[in-house]
Amino acid sequence: MLRWPSSKYQLTYMFRSGVQNPNEADMRSACSQAFQRWASVSQFTFQEAPTGSRADILIGFYRGDHGDGDAFDGPLGKVLARAFYPQDGRFHMMQMRIGASRILKSEDQTLKSLQILEEVHKGQTIAGLNKVKKYLNKFGFYANPNDSNLTDDFDDHLESALKTSSVPDDQDFRSAFAQAFQSWEGASQFKFKEASADEKANIVIWFYSGDHGDGLPFDGPGRVLAHSFFPQDGRSHYDADESWSTNPDMNHMDLESVALHELGHVLGLAHSQDPNAVMHSGIAAGTIKRDLTQDDIEGIQALYPN
C-alpha cells in the first residue's frame, strides 16, 4: 500500500494558479477544515505553502480533459474530483459554473486580478492578464480586433479599457433576466420570482462553455448563442464564450434580448415566422429586441388562454 514516509508527516499544500476556482475565501476555508479533520485523527499536520515554494499536495480545479489522462465528465456527470496516492500529491476537482442565483461567481478569480491591477502599470507582463482581457472582452470593454491571441502584456488596449469602462457585476446580469421575466409576465398569466438558495426552481439558468452534458455542446463565439428546453424541463443554457453585454455595440450580444427569446422557449413557444418578433430565430450582434411584438403576445396567449 502506498503511504507517505514518516519523514513527511508535516505536509504542505498549495492551490494551483492559472485556473478558475470557486470563491477563493470559501474554497480555502473548506479545504482548511478538511485538512484539520484529518490532522485531528492522525499524525499529519498540514500547512499552506507560501507562493513560489514547492508543496506536497497541489490542489487544482479543472474542466474536461486536463492532461492527467482522466477527463472530467461535466456537471451532469458522476465524477466530482480525483486525487492521486502518495507521494504524487495531485488533487483535482471539477470546476463547475454556478446557477442563476450566482451568475458570474466563477469569475471571482478574474475580479480579484482586476483589483490587483491597481498595482500594475502599462508595459509590464503579469501572469493572468490574458484572463482579465478575456473577461473584459466578454462584456464589451476590451475590443482589439487584432489581438486574437490575448497575452499577459499590459498594453494600450487594456489601459484604455480600464480607464473608460467599469466591469459589470452579477447584478447587471440579474437585471437583464429580471426585465425579460417581467416582459413575459406582462403578456401572460405567469408570475416569476427568484428562488432562494435552498428552494427547487422551475427554471434554471446556466452559463456554459463547450460540451456541458445535455447533448448540445456550445460552439464558442458566434452561431449558437443559447438553447432552452420546453416545459416542463425548465433548463435555459447560455454560451459563456459569447461576448455578452447589457449595453451592446456591433461586436456584442444583448443579453436581455436573447434571454427574452430563450424564456419564450422555456414557456413553450416555438420560433416565429415574423422577422420582427422576439421569437424569430436568430439575432445579430448589437441588435436589441427587448419588446414583445403582437405576434409574441398572441403566441403566448394562444398557448395559455385566459
DSSP character at residue 8: G
Using CA atoms in the order 62, 125, 168, 205, what is the torsion angle rounded to 10 degrees? -20
Q: Which residues are annotated as a binding site?
A: 212, 214, 219-220, 227, 237, 239, 242, 261, 265, 271, 279
Beta bridge partners, 144, equal none
Buried b (16+ CB within 10 A) or exposed e, 61-96: bbbeebeeeeebebbeeeeeeeeeeeeebebbbbbb
Instruction: Give the integer Cα–Cα distance in Å for 264 and 277.
Output: 11
Q: Which residues are annotated as a binding site for Ca(2+)?
A: 219-220, 239, 242
Which amino acid appears at position 234 of this protein?
G
Instruction: Give the integer Cα–Cα distance in Å for 246 and 254.
Output: 6
Reported as type and span, the H/E element at residue 302 is helix 294-303
Cβ neighbours of residue 294 closer than 8 Å, sequence gap 6 or more:
none
Which amino acid appears at position 90 of this protein?
R
Q: What's the farthest any 2 CA atoms get from each other in the chain?
A: 76
288 touches 250 (CB < 8 A): no
Residues known to be catalytic? 262
Q: Which residues are annotated as a binding site for Zn(2+)?
A: 212, 214, 227, 237, 261, 265, 271, 279
Grid coordinates given for 283: 439575432
Instruction: Give the integer Cα–Cα distance in Å for 305 and 83.
Output: 55
Query: Backbone phi, then psi, for 280, in 5-degree steps?
Result: -70, 145
- The string of DSSP codes covering 41-58 is TSS-EEEEPPTTS--SEE
